[in-house]
């Protein structure tokens, strides 16, 4: 994945200003910065929720001025959001299987009346979901409604749903927000498994600098929509511009960033 000269503004407020960086296959790439720096706006541009004013996004060898959201799954891209987007009344298994809905070829009528093709697709989706629950140690919660589970477990379920389609690129927007230390350690292990065992390239936004430094291969740092640092954790730790940005007052560029 790569972003090339991405710029984006809202009502005259600049969210992204000529941002460019690459993500190597198989790496964990963090995007950090103060509140309002442009992090979630960047992820939303990459996943097609925002249309950049200029610049391009490269995904799987394809270049887009505006990423088509209806093609994300076909391009091998999955993502999670800052706020949980789970079906709280459905079981963990049902939520994870829902991550394969885009792959179903049988029409609604075929599914309703249970034609053989529809039954096979449903069975395959649930087999894949079961395997991923075992992989991420969620079997004990298999049949529980997601809304009854602790927040940290719900975050792992959301990760499982994003992974069930075996994406090549996984976008994680503040996956550890609101978690306890133990929950963060568990999710960090799951993210490593997603890269090491499932082959996902990962881009994540995260505010916990300790997690970022221990988990990431490379880090991109945004401030006021500009890229002010790009390199290994060690290089970023010693980058004076990054140090200055984090010691300053949190920005208030957008009402509702997530920027």
Confidence band, pLDDT 50/70/90 cuts, at residue 249: very low
pLDDT tens-digit map of 122-175: 888 899 999 999 988 999 999 999 999 999 999 999 999 999 999 999 999 999
Which CATH architecture group holds 1-76+168-259? Answer: 3-Layer(aba) Sandwich (3.40)
Q: Which residue has the tokens 């007052």?
A: 249
* 226-231 sheet: strands from edge to edge: 77-79, 169-173, 201-205, 28-32, 218-223, 226-231
Q: How large is the average pLDDT for residues 221-225?
A: 95
Q: State the Cα–Cα distance between residues 148 and 133, nearest whole angstrom.
A: 17
**Half-sphere exposure of residue 193: CA atoms within 13 angstroms, side-chain side:** 16
Q: State the Cα–Cα distance between residues 19 and 1, nearest whole angstrom.
A: 13
Tokens representing 196? Answer: 């090491």
> In the predicted model, is pLDDT for residue 18 greater than 90?
yes
Q: State the Cα–Cα distance between residues 138 and 245, nearest whole angstrom.
A: 39
pLDDT tens-digit map of 162-221: 999 999 999 999 999 889 999 999 999 999 999 999 999 999 999 999 999 999 999 999
Lowest mean pLDDT segment, chosen from 8-12, 87-91, 115-119: 115-119
Q: What is the pLDDT of residue 244?
A: 85
pLDDT tens-digit map of 39-80: 999 999 999 999 999 999 999 889 999 999 888 988 999 999
State how beta strands 54-59 and 2-10 pair.
antiparallel
Domain ranges of the chain: 1-76+168-259, 87-166
State how beta strands 54-59 and 226-231 pair.
unpaired
The angle, 0 to 180 degrees and rounded to 10, between the axes of the packed helices 181-196 and 151-163 is 10
pLDDT tens-digit map of 19-38: 999 999 999 999 999 888 99
Confidence band, pLDDT 50/70/90 cuts, at residue 118: low
């Amino acid at each position: 994945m790569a972003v090339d000269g991405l710029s984006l503004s809202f009502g005259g407020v600049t969210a992204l200003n000529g941002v460019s960086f690459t993500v190597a296959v198989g790496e964990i790439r963090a995007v950090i910065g103060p509140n309002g720096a442009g992090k979630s706006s960047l992820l939303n541009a990459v996943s097609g929720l925002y249309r950049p004013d200029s610049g391009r996004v490269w995904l799987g060898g394809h270049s887009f001025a505006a990423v088509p959201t209806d093609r994300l799954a076909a391009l091998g891209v999955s993502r999670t959001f800052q706020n949980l987007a789970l079906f709280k009344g459905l079981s963990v298994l049902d939520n994870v299987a829902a991550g394969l809905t885009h792959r179903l070829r049988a029409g609604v009528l075929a599914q309703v009346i249970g034609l053989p093709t529809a039954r096979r697709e449903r069975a395959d989706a649930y087999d894949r979901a079961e395997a991923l629950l075992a992989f991420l140690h969620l079997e004990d919660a298999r049949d529980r409604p997601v809304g009854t589970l602790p927040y940290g477990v719900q975050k792992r379920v959301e990760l499982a749903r994003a992974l069930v389609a075996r994406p090549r690129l996984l976008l994680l927007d503040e996956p550890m927000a609101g978690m306890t230390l133990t929950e963060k350690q568990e999710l960090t292990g799951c993210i490593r498994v997603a890269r090491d065992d499932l082959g996902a390239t990962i881009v994540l936004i995260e505010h916990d600098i300790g997690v970022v430094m221990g988990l990431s291969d490379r880090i991109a740092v945004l401030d006021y929509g500009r890229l002010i640092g790009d390199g290994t954790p060690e290089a970023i730790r010693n980058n004076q511009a990054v140090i200055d940005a984090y010691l300053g007052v949190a920005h208030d560029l957008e009402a509702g960033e997530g920027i």
